[in-house]
Amino acid sequence: MQIPDQLTPVLVRIGAMFPELRDDPVMAASLFENVTSMLTDAHRRYAAGQESSITSDQLLADEHLATGALHAEHMQHPAGAMLAAEVLFDEYLPVFVDEVGATTPAELLRASRALHAGIWSRFPAGAVAYTEALRQRVTTANLDSRAHIARDLHDRVAHGILAGLQRIDLALLTDPPAPQRTAQLEGAAAQLRRALGDVQNLAVALHARVGDDLLDAALARHVADLFPDTERVTIASHGTPGVLVNWRAEESLTILLEALTNWWKHARDAAAHVRFDWQPDRLTVTVHDDGPGFDGTTHAEGRLGQSTMRERAALIGAGLDVASAPGAGTTVTLVVPRSTL
């Protein structure tokens, strides 16, 4: 990718502010393509004698929506694109004025407006596309969550209730001797109590909130509600805990509770360990259990709710990794940015 000399200072300054744009080949190519397109548009506007710098009436221009979608895919907040646009205008205005040969006040004003319009015409469409991409991810995550809840209600709750009712029906139909009938009814009661516990756990998980707590404290609080009869869950924090942006904290809590719910379903007889590693730029949380594990190459992701977890992680710009092998337990690693955007 050949960069004209006059663009080099601009791209260097933007790259220093956003290393992820500079270091990712796809994003770097997109940045160069958009900058050159903006400047070409600015030259066209100046040559055509256009006086207006208003561009938002074209904010849904199809040719500009792809940039916002790309930024959403890479979780680049629109505020970053706006800052990059300001840097471009600040750095390139003197160069642009010289390129078009503007000297009079009227020409200088027209050059400023042309460059502003050429740059700004991309930003509204990008922000709209970014918002739309996130909205679609939220919709997908919510649909996945509903499907996951429906599956739990069918596989766990309905199955437990049916098994309990069958034991009651068996006792009523066969009218066994008192000791046997008592055992059958006690078994039915135990089955129904487990189903009730599953319903209560689903309700707790659905209403989970971080609130005013830090994420590690909020998780500990909900673990005590969800798994009150077990001491096999340990939570440890390392580093200096801090407040995450609310929307990241809430989604992170949902992801971590889903990981622990998976442990409860498939490996509750083994210990589960949650470790928070607080660093200045990110929070890494690992949820590891010593259970039977599974073959990640053949196991259906949907059964463990991994698809929903991954969607939610993508929504907050977090990384999610699930590692498991037969006999080696399962480790879920969530890496959450601590930026304010």
pLDDT in tens, 228-246: 777 889 999 999 999 888 8
Angle at 73 between CA 70 and CA 74, to 5 degrees: 90
- DSSP states of 278-315: E-SSEEEEEEEE-S----TTTS-GGGGTHHHHHHHHHH
pLDDT in tens, 236-292: 999 999 988 888 898 899 899 889 988 988 888 899 999 999 999 899 999 999 888
Question: Are residues 127 and 250 located together in one domain of the fold?
Answer: no
12 inside domain? yes
Q: Identify the CATH number of the domain in which residue 325 sits.
A: 3.30.565.10
- What are the tokens at 86? 């300001």
d(CA 69, CA 129): 5
CB-count burial class (<10 Å; 0-12, 13-18, 19+) for 208? buried
Mean pLDDT of 328-341: 86
Domain that holds residue 313: 209-341
Sign of the dihedral through C-alpha 26, 29, 32, 36: negative
Percent of the chain topping pLDDT 70: 82
* Mean pLDDT rounded to a whole number for the chain: 80
174 inside domain? no
226 inside domain? yes
pLDDT in tens, 37-82: 888 889 988 999 887 776 655 555 555 556 666 666 666 666 667 7
